[in-house]
A and B are shown apart, each in its own frame.
Chain A
Amino acid sequence: MNWKRSLIAAVTAVPVILLFAWGFTRDPGEIPSPLPGHAAPQFSLDVFAPGQPPLSRPVGDTVRLADLRGQVVVLNFWASWCGACREEHAVLSTTARLYTGRPVHFLGVLYNDSLAAGEAWIAEMGGQSYPSMQDPGARTAIDYGLYGVPETFFIDGDGRVAYKQLGPVTGVGLAHIVDSLIAALPPKPAAPATKSRS
């Protein structure tokens, strides 16, 4: 009779324990994004903070994702009221500068913040090497399934979201992802051979 009771207790307890074990490995605040592996939502956003040469773009210039096809895009959503954005700012700004001339575009998107506050924040942080765009109504943020900042999306040369980073990026992680996406870009067609004057 005792073995029967033990069996019933085990059959009842084991699934509950497994369910809890699985549940405790998950972050209840995290919303699993369906975007990685799929086409990145298109955007067309106006620059409000130009960035610094040689990565700068004029204020009011419209940045379209479609125009950046064939290159890697690092799209970082940030806000002046976001503490973790301060943490990653130097990493993003420095890495973007280090990758100057490589087929990668670093772009910032201001999320639910005033342009004045965004500009003041950039000045306070000592500048931002790459341009930042405004996102009225958070339409692009919603298109990317954003629910907090910072969030960074890595878009490959085919226009797909390759990876999404929740929270601040780290220098090593950032360089690793960007390098692997650049390496995956199709090789540029070789320039036609020119005859040497000899």
Chain B
Amino acid sequence: MLVVSAALLAAITGRAGAQAAGASAAPVAQQAAADTALEARTNAVAGQLRCPVCQGVSIQDSPAELAQQMRDLVREQLRTGKSPDEVKAYFVSKYGEWILLQPRASGFNILIYALPVLVVLGGLAVIVVAMRRWTKPPENLSI
């Protein structure tokens, strides 16, 4: 009887322990998932911001101290509920459009996107005209 009681107690306490462990594991898992999601969002935003003390590298890829501090700030702002666009807007308000690795396609910046296309089209047109001339048979060719 005593053995059965002890077994029952052990089973109950074991289950209770497992329940407690399960209850504490769930928030930990949720926290880990939230941290992973936050890290992914931080990486995404940091990958679009230029490191001010480097050459053409994002703050995500730079080991510079200032870049790391800026990345920490991105993470903190995202954690406090700011959207990625709001975080980027904050950095633009401090460093100007320069801070964006991919310039916005508006105003003067449109040239950056339009110019290569125009140059390629112009080049193609030159090639077409030149090829037509080269392949045109001579007019006064007589047999």
A31-54 interface with B by 8 A CB criterion: 31-35, 41
Residue pairs across A and B with Cβ atoms less than 8 A apart, 19 shown, are A31-B52, A31-B95, A31-B96, A31-B98, A31-B99, A33-B95, A34-B92, A34-B96, A35-B94, A112-B66, A112-B69, A138-B65, A138-B66, A139-B69, A141-B66, A142-B70, A144-B94, A145-B52, A147-B53
- Confirm or deny: B73 has a beta carbon within 8 angstroms of a beta carbon on chain A: yes
> Chain A's interface: helix, strand, loop or mixed, by majority?
loop
- Confirm or deny: A171 has a beta carbon within 8 angstroms of a beta carbon on chain B: no
- Residues of A with C-beta under 8 A to B72: 137
- Confirm or deny: A179 has a beta carbon within 8 angstroms of a beta carbon on chain B: no
Chain A residues with a Cβ under 8 A of chain B? 31-35, 41, 112, 137-139, 141-148
> Are A34 and B65 neighbours in the complex by a CB distance under 8 Å?
no
- Confirm or deny: B106 has a beta carbon within 8 angstroms of a beta carbon on chain A: no
- Residues of A with C-beta under 8 A to B5: none
> Are A138 and B69 neighbours in the complex by a CB distance under 8 Å?
yes
Question: B52, B66, B94, B99: which has the most chain A beta carbons within 10 Å?
Answer: B94
Expressed in whole angstroms, the Cα–Cα distance for A148 and B66 within the complex equals: 10
Expressed in whole angstroms, the Cα–Cα distance for A41 and B69 within the complex equals: 18
B40-92 interface with A by 8 A CB criterion: 52-53, 65-66, 69-70, 72-73, 92
> Are B52 and A147 neighbours in the complex by a CB distance under 8 Å?
yes
B71-128 interface with A by 8 A CB criterion: 72-73, 92-96, 98-99
A42 to chain B, nearest CB (A): 13
- Residues of B with C-beta under 8 A to A144: 94
- Residues of B with C-beta under 8 A to A41: 94
